[in-house]
């Protein structure tokens, strides 16, 4: 590329003060042009360079992988999945969790505490002595993970009483033989709470994990609901099923945010992916419910769950 410039002036008087005009031409031979892009951090300023792959395309790390690996600080992922293993048409809307089980505890709807009164864990089988992880929220709605060793059918007291429980996991080396209950301490018989309304979480035998399509956004977090699903895989009877996604802001009531249905007979499933994630404030309760609409259906089964991204405030 050539650039031409024209300049004018006076001589130094030696040549009778004659005017002169000169033209200067500069040539640029640009064989390669290089540029660099850098990420900008509002605190640290410009940081690491943005790179390209071998095809010359900008290389961008998968943000989902960055969340999973912890590269994106202050952001975590939650996958909740639940199952209502045994309910009838007459039970109407049931919470999709382990408690919707006619054969055992018969707690068709999850009960929510208003104070941190969830303080007890026990098993219906005296051989259960595994280490159990309990996840929930304390009296200040802060996220708490604690472990407790089961003492069979004898009640064991949690170290931190809880306002919410939304997951249990068996950390031991053997399957749980009985039903594991976390509940409001009242009266239990053989490790089973006397009142189903005292139960806040149940782990079915051999599952080694609760199946609860429910969650509460912890204090200091904002939740972003990205997807949810439901299916009647394993349903024992033909039926129409209605599924609800419900949200309850703190101090409010549960509101239906999505209503759908499943095919009758066999196996059917649907998934919903948000084009724009739905923001949820701290202390918002999330719950999925379902019911069999066909008359006189027994031993019905539903599964459901949802995905969340949590971001620190």
pLDDT digits (tens, 9 = 90+) for 77-117: 999 999 999 999 899 999 999 999 998 889 999 999 999 99
pLDDT in tens, 155-197: 999 999 999 999 999 999 999 999 999 999 888 999 999 999 9
Domain boundaries, the chain: 38-62, 75-80+215-312, 111-208
pLDDT band at 64 (very low <50, low <70, confident <90, very high): confident
**0.95 cut: is pTM over it?**
no
Q: How far apart are the first and last CA of the chain?
A: 54
CATH architecture of the domain 75-80+215-312 equals Sandwich (2.60)
Location of structure tokens 């080694």 = 208
Percent of the chain with pLDDT over 70: 79
Distance CA 37, CA 16 (A): 56
Helix-then-strand count for the chain, H and E? 1, 22
The C-alpha R_g of the chain, in whole angstroms, comes to: 31
pLDDT of residue 230: 92
């Amino acid at each position: 590329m050539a650039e031409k410039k024209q300049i004018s002036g006076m001589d130094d008087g030696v040549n009778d003060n004659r005017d002169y005009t000169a033209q200067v031409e500069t040539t640029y031979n640009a064989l390669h042009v290089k540029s660099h892009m850098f990420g900008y951090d509002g605190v640290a300023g410009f940081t690491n360079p943005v790179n390209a792959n071998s095809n010359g395309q900008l290389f961008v790390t998968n943000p989902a992988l960055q969340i999973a690996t912890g590269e994106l600080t202050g952001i975590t992922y939650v996958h909740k999945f639940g199952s209502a293993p045994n309910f009838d048409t007459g039970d109407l809307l049931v919470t999709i969790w382990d408690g919707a089980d006619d054969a055992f505890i018969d707690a068709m709807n999850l009960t929510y505490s208003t104070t941190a009164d969830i303080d007890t864990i026990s098993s219906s089988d005296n051989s259960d002595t595994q280490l159990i992880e309990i996840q929930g929220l304390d009296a200040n709605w802060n996220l708490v993970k604690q472990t407790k060793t089961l003492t069979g059918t004898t009640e064991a007291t949690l170290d931190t009483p809880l306002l919410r429980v939304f997951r249990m996991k068996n950390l031991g080396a053997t399957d749980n033989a009985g039903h594991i209950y976390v509940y409001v301490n009242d009266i239990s018989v053989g490790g089973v709470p006397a009142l189903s309304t005292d139960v806040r979480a149940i782990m079915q035998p051999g599952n080694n994990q609760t199946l609860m399509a429910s969650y509460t956004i912890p204090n200091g977090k904002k939740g972003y609901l990205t997807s949810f699903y439901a299916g009647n895989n394993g349903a024992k009877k033909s039926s129409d099923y209605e599924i609800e996604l419900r949200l309850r802001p703190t101090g409010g009531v549960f509101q239906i945010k999505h209503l759908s249905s499943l095919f009758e007979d066999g196996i059917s499933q649907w998934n919903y992916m948000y084009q724009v994630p739905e923001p949820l404030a701290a202390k918002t309760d999330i719950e999925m419910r379902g019911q069999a609409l066909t008359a006189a259906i027994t031993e019905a089964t539903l599964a459901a769950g949802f995905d969340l991204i949590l971001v620190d405030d």
